[in-house]
């Protein structure tokens, strides 16, 4: 049954949360035992999950810097999770003071924590909303207050689209979001995939099952499927590639093989 | 800062590089390794300073350990690798020329301090983050609780304020909660429903699938269903509802509650029943009407093998007279009384009585044994009508004619059955009424319904199905043929030749009489013109044409007549228009005007059927007539010998009166020579009848006239 908009999800911290599991991968302690338990289970199948998460964060940092370098100083980060070191607003505002950032997450705990972290930062805010309902995001007061949609915006969908099942049509959601953005806006995304994982899919599938068990199913997509999110976009060089290959700062000798799992890319609207 | 190759600064940088390479793979930072190296460089510098200082500063070691945590080297493996690194390379790269043993001891103590500082910082960071996330969870719960409270308050307002009844039950059927609207519908207090089970709320009118749907729902096999359902109220009355039941599932999708939404449709249902009743019942008698009767008849005719039906079609004899003489109110009361009596005749299951309209009623019986039943039914109806009906102090005798149709289901349509019943009823009526007749397929086939003829009339005129026969008018003085009356016939494609009594009333009713009458006039006058041409020097034959009351009032009568005469080249004196006496009863000057104008032109006007109406003899003076046609009833008494003396006196009086008014007298229906002789003696001028000739084709008349002239 469709939940009415005014009836919020209840909070049950005995249920693992994707954003707190991610925090655990990144060495944080913004998590509870249930989250760590789920993380440990997933890591039994894919020990490299922390490295994949780190690679996501590192890609995001590079992409944000690229965006600022291209003159884009407004960011809409959907699926922002628990704020940890090297968040979008830190990276962006360090390069361009006054850069505007709106974080979006549907996890109320992540939102509450983000509110605490962002207290006193007038140029960044957080919205409790769901990627599957783009209109609620675009019509939120935070977006209206902070983002000028007549100017280019960098839309960040980092490590989030693989949590939207085909039944919820992530392609339509992304299309609806980007339709609201001005020309020159950037779509920054990463997506999980069996391609690039240094394990046979059967084994990686065990980690996918863990996410299914905690009712946050993970939808692995092929490179071709992921490329469809960029239909109608000009791909920024080097295109849709494994995360460490996207405009790396350092040589490949430091890379962990796990970081090559999944794909990252940046596209620009005409 | 540039470093001299292999100078202290360069060696410090090399130490930082080694350190960062060791630690990077186990950090959680999103920095690159070189960025990490930049972060480690100042730490390495502080370690070198502490190593070379005169007195060992443990705080520096602790600070470096804490700084590692700040750089997101939160994995204890990072500490282990850092300590390995310090142990192996710090003295080597940063020890300069100091005593190795002292340096080693210092490095070792620095490692202890680093470990302590790291542990302290990691513990604080962990606690702070746990605190922060717990606080966030608490705040989020507060927000959610508040929103839940608000939404619950809103939901409660919706629940309580809703106009539709809402009830929630668990899967065992225990009613957990109901709202005010639902209680009001059931007309009871909370106790009426609380604690009861859904399964107890059965009602005799429940549709068979109602409870099957419910069972499927609570088993989780269906999400919702919609049905019309009745409930019994505590006071014994019935509550009808439009009911929607939905399954509520918990977060895991397991069935949890059933939710019923219901709308009270009791009133609407009653209204529908009433509207349906009104649409299917006769307002005057309360009997089922034509609509309902046809529904039942069609159902009976659609019944399966072995099923039969019997139908009595009743029409009251002489009802029109009662209506005309006593008024409609009395007529209505009579119909109500008849309806009541009929109702009492058809009380068995499968029997019904309906009023089709006017004084026409039907009684229907159905079942396997209607052959016997329908006769009994007709008998009961005839019996029920025997006792006179008392209205306004008068005893009215009611009689009826019944047509009976009986047969097996599945052979004929309702319309065919009713047509057969109608024909049969008319047969009973023609046979004198107050009786019933059984339908006979052959009689049906012969029967010509008024309706069928009426609808066929216009096309018949277009197709030339009408023709005219002529009956000679004979001069009683010398026996010569003086003219003829034109009599219209219809050669009907199915029924053969029909006389004017069959279709003229229908043509008058529909207005077709005007074109038909004009055609008859045109054709007869044309025929008269033809006779005139053939006759040469002898006296031309005159032609008599009947005018119906409708034609009399038609504004084109005079002009049409003039045109027709002129076109045929026939003098007005050769034409005689016959008008019935009843058409002129009470005629005012407006109606007489066209006749006067025709008379002035020389056209004879004959008063037809004279003696059957109640015309005032004195009135004859002001009518523009020149001929009286005596009705045949006056001459019937003269067919035998000796003639009825009263008839003789009457005819003699009429003739004398007519002649004194300068009117000629024609008699109809002359069948014997004695009659003809008698009428001649009485002074009648002309006669027609079978004694002279039956109506026939125009040529025969011409021949008769020739014989007459030569004879």
pLDDT band, very low/low/confident/very high, at A255 (cuts 50, 70, 90): confident
Mean confidence (pLDDT) of chain A: 89
Structure confidence at residue A8 as a pLDDT band (50, 70, 90): very low
Interface of A with B (CB under 8 A): 1, 4, 6-11, 13, 20, 25-32, 50, 54, 57-58, 60-61, 82, 85-86, 108-113, 115-116, 249-250, 254, 256
* Contacts for B709 with CB less than 8 Å, ≥ 6 apart: B480, B538
To the question of pTM greater than 0.80 for the whole model, the response is no
Element (H, E) at A124: strand A124-128
Residue B169 DSSP symbol: E
Q: Strand pairing partners for B481?
A: B474
- Give the separation between CA B191 and CA B169, rounded to whole angstroms: 15
CB distance A86–B130 less than 8 Å? no
Mean pLDDT, residues A239-261: 84
d(CA B628, CA B503): 25
Of A28, A82, A108, the CB nearest to B144: A108
Least confident stretch, B340-354, B393-407, B459-473, B607-621: B607-621
Distance (Å, whole) CA A124 – CA A76: 10
Alpha-carbon distances of B153 from A6, B143, B145, rounded to whole Å: 12, 15, 12
Kindly list the residues from chain A whose CB atom is less than 8 angstroms away from the CB atom of residue B253.
none
Residue B243 binned pLDDT confidence (cut-offs 50, 70, 90)? very high
- Per the model's pLDDT, the better-predicted residue between B564 and B622 turns out to be B564
Q: Look at the domain B162-270 and name its fold.
A: Beta-Lactamase (3.30.450)
Sorted by where each begins, the domain ranges of chain A are 18-269
Residue A125 has pLDDT above 50, yes or no: yes
B14-66: per-residue pLDDT in tens?
999 999 999 988 888 888 888 899 999 999 999 999 988 878 788 999 999 99
Residue B8 has pLDDT above 90, yes or no: no
Q: What value does the mean pLDDT take over residues B522-547?
A: 86
ipTM of the complex: 0.85
Is 80 exceeded by the pLDDT of residue A143? Answer: yes
State yes or no: pLDDT of A30 exceeds 80. Answer: yes
The fold of B456-710 is TIM Barrel (3.20.20)
Most confident by average pLDDT, B81-90, B181-190, B423-432, B628-637: B81-90
Q: Which pLDDT band, with edges at 50, 70 and 90, does A253 fall under?
A: low
B558, B565 Cβ separation under 8 angstroms: no
Q: What is the pLDDT of residues B329-386, one digit of tens each?
A: 889 999 999 999 999 998 888 899 999 988 999 999 999 989 999 999 999 999 999 9
Task: Tell me the nearest-neighbour CA distance from B191 into chain A, angstroms.
Answer: 31
Please check the confidence at residue B709 and state whether its pLDDT lies above 70: no
Listed by start position, the domains of chain B span 8-132, 162-270, 287-447, 456-710
B519, B533, B564, B572 from B702: Cα distances, Å: 21, 11, 21, 20
The shortest CB-CB distance from B133 to any of A8, A30, A115 is to A30
Pairing mode of beta strands B165-170, A186-191: unpaired
3-class DSSP state of B178 = strand
| A233, β-bridge pairs | A269
What's the rounded Cα separation, in Å, for the pair B524 and B568? 10
Whole-angstrom distance, CA of residue A22 vs CA of residue A190: 15
Find the Cα–Cα–Cα–Cα dihedral B431, B432, B436, B441, rounded to 10°: 20
Out of A144-158, A186-200, B319-333, least confident range: B319-333
* Residue found under tokens 């008018």: B473
SS3 A70: coil
Mean pLDDT of B102-108: 89
Token representation of residue A217: 């199913």
Are the Cβ atoms of B136 and A109 closer than 8 angstroms?
yes
Nearest to A30 among B129, B139, B150 (CB): B129
Of B35, B139, B248, the CB nearest to A112: B139
Count of Cβ atoms closer than 10 Å to residue B332 Cβ = 14
List the one residue out of A4, A78, A64, A84 whose CA is nearest residue A186: A64
Nearest to B249 by CA among B293, B218, B211: B218
Nearest to B473 by CA among B626, B231, B701: B701
Chain B residues in contact with A50 (beta carbon < 8 A): 28
Q: Which of A1-10, A53-62, B268-277, B537-546 has the highest mean pLDDT?
A: A53-62
Question: Smallest Cβ distance to A109: which of B25, B130, B137?
Answer: B137
Confidence class for position A7, pLDDT limits 50, 70, 90: very low
Q: Regarding the domain with residue range A18-269, which homologous superfamily does it belong to in the CATH classification? A: Vaccinia Virus protein VP39 (3.40.50.150)
Give the pLDDT score at B446: 63
Tell me which CATH homologous superfamily contains domain B287-447.
Answer: Reverse transcriptase/Diguanylate cyclase domain (3.30.70.270)
A250 to chain B: which residues are within 8 Å by CB? 32-34
The torsion angles phi and psi of B522, rounded to 5 degrees, stand at -60, -50
The confidence band for B85, taking pLDDT boundaries of 50, 70 and 90, is very high
User: Are B486 and B468 spatial neighbours (Cβ–Cβ below 8 Å)?
Assistant: yes
**Cβ(B24)–Cβ(A51) under 8 Å?**
no
Number of Cβ within 10 Å of residue A47's Cβ equals 12
CA distance B263 to B316: 50
Burial of residue B308 (CB within 10 Å: 0-12, 13-18, 19+) is buried
SS3 of residue B630 by DSSP: strand
Q: What pLDDT shows up at residue B449?
A: 67
Secondary structure of residue B361 in the 3-state scheme = strand
Q: Average model confidence (pLDDT) for chain B?
A: 87
Q: Judge: A85–B154 Cβ closer than 8 Å, yes or no.
A: no
| B121-165 tens-digit pLDDT | 999 999 999 999 988 888 888 887 887 788 888 888 888 888 889
By C-alpha distance, the chain A residue nearest B22 is: A254
Q: Tell me, what's the pLDDT at B3?
A: 63
* CB-based contact B119:B68 (threshold 8 Å): no
Q: Tell me the backbone φ, ψ of residue B190, rounded to 5 degrees.
A: -50, -35
Q: Which residue has the tokens 């510098």?
A: B45
Q: How many Cβ atoms are within 10 Å of B218's Cβ, its own excluded?
A: 19
Q: Tell me the pLDDT band of B711, cut-offs 50, 70 and 90.
A: very low
Q: CA of A256: which chain B residue's CA is closest?
A: B25
């Amino acid at each position: 049954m469709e939940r009415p908009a005014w009836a919020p999800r209840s909070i049950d911290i005995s249920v693992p949360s994707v954003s707190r599991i991610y925090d655990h991968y990144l060495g944080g302690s913004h998590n509870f035992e249930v989250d760590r338990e789920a993380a440990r289970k997933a890591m039994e199948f894919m020990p490299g999950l922390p490295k994949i998460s780190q690679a996501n964060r590192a890609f995001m940092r590079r992409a944000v810097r690229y965006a600022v370098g291209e003159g884009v100083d407004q960011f809409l980060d959907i699926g922002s999770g628990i704020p940890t070191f090297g968040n979008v607003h830190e990276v962006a505002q360090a390069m361009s003071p006054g850069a505007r950032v709106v974080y979006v997450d549907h996890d109320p705990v992540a939102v509450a924590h983000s509110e605490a972290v962002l207290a006193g930062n007038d140029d960044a805010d957080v919205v409790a909303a769901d990627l599957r309902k783009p209109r609620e995001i675009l019509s939120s007061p935070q977006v209206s207050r902070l983002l000028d949609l007549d100017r280019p915006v960098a839309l960040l969908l980092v490590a989030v689209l693989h949590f939207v099942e085909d039944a919820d049509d992530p392609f339509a959601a992304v299309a609806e979001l980007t339709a609201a953005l001005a020309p020159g806006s950037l779509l920054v995304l990463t997506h999980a995939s069996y391609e690039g994982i240094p394990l046979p899919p059967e084994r990686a599938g065990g980690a996918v099952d863990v996410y299914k068990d905690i009712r946050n199913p993970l939808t692995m997509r092929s490179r071709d499927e992921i490329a469809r999110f960029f239909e109608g976009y000009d791909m920024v060089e080097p295109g849709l590639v494994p995360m460490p290959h996207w405009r790396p700062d350092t040589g490949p000798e430091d890379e962990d093989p796990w970081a090559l799992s999944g794909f990252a890319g940046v596209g620009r609207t005409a | 800062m540039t470093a001299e190759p292999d100078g202290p600064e360069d060696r410090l940088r090399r130490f930082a590089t080694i350190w960062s390479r060791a630690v990077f793979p186990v950090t959680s930072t999103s920095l690159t390794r070189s960025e990490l190296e930049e972060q480690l460089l100042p730490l390495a510098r502080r370690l070198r300073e502490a190593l070379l200082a005169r007195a060992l500063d443990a705080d520096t070691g602790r600070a470096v350990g804490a700084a590692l945590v700040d750089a997101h080297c939160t994995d204890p493996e990072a500490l282990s690798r850092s300590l390995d690194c310090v142990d192996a390379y710090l003295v080597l790269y940063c020890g300069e020329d100091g005593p190795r043993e002292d340096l080693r001891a210092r490095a070792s103590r620095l490692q202890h301090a680093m470990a302590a500082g790291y542990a302290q910082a990691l513990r604080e960071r962990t606690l702070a983050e746990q605190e922060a996330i717990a606080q966030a969870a608490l705040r989020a719960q507060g927000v959610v609780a508040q929103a839940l409270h608000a939404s619950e308050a809103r939901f409660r307002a919706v629940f309580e304020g809703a106009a539709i009844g809402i009830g929630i039950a668990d899967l065992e059927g225990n009613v957990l909660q109901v709202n005010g609207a639902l209680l009001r519908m059931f007309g009871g207090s909370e106790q009426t429903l609380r604690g009861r089970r859904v399964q107890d709320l059965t009602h005799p009118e429940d549709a068979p699938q109602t409870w099957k749907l419910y069972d499927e729902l609570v088993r989780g096999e269906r999400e919702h269903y919609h049905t019309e359902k009745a409930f019994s109220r505590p006071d014994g009355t019935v509550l009808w509802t439009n009911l929607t039941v939905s399954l509520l599932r918990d977060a895991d999708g397991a069935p949890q509650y059933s939710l019923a939404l219901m709308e009270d449709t009791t009133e609407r249902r009653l209204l529908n029943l009433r509207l349906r009743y009104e649409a299917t019942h006769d307002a005057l008698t309360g009997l089922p009407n034509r609509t309902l009767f046809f529904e039942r008849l069609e159902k009976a005719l659609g019944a399966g093998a072995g099923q039969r039906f019997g139908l009595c079609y009743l029409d009251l004899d002489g009802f029109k007279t009662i209506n005309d003489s006593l008024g409609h109110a009395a007529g209505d009361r009579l119909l109500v009384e008849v309806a009541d009596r009929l109702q009492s005749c058809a009380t068995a299951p499968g029997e019904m009585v309906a009023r089709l309209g006017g004084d026409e009623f039907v009684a229907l019986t159905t079942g396997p044994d209607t052959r016997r039943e329908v006769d009994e039914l007709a008998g009961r109806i005839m019996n029920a009508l025997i006792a006179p009906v008392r209205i306004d102090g008068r005893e009215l005798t009611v009689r009826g004619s019944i047509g009976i149709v009986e047969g097996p289901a599945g052979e004929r349509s309702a319309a065919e059955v009713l047509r057969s019943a109608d024909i049969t009823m008319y047969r009973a009526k023609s046979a004198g009424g107050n009786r019933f007749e059984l339908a006979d397929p052959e009689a049906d086939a012969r029967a010509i319904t008024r309706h069928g003829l009426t609808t066929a009339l216009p096309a018949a005129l277009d197709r030339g199905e009408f023709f005219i026969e002529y009956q000679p008018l004979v001069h009683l003085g010398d026996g010569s043929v003086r003219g003829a009356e034109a009599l219209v016939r219809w050669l009907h494609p199915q029924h053969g030749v029909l006389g004017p009594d069959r279709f003229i009333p229908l043509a008058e009713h529909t207005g077709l009489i005007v074109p038909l009458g004009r055609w008859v006039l045109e054709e007869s006058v044309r025929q008269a013109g033809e006779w005139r041409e053939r006759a040469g020097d002898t006296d031309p034959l005159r032609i008599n044409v009947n005018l119906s009351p409708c034609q009399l009032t038609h504004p084109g009568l005079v002009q049409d007549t003039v045109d027709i005469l002129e076109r045929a080249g026939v003098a007005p004196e050769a034409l005689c228009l016959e008008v019935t006496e009843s058409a002129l009863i009470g005629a005012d000057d407006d109606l007489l005007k066209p006749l006067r104008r025709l008379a002035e032109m020389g056209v004879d006007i004959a008063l037809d059927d004279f003696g059957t109406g109640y015309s005032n003899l004195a009135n004859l003076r002001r009518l523009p007539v020149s001929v009286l046609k005596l009705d045949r009833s006056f001459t019937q008494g003269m067919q035998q010998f000796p003639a009825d003396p009263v008839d003789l006196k009457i005819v003699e009086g009429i003739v004398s009166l007519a002649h004194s008014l300068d009117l000629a007298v024609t008699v109809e229906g002359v069948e014997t020579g004695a009659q003809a002789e008698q009428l001649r003696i009485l002074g009648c001028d002309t006669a027609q009848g079978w004694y002279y000739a039956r109506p026939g084709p125009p040529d025969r008349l011409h021949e008769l006239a020739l014989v007459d002239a030569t004879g």
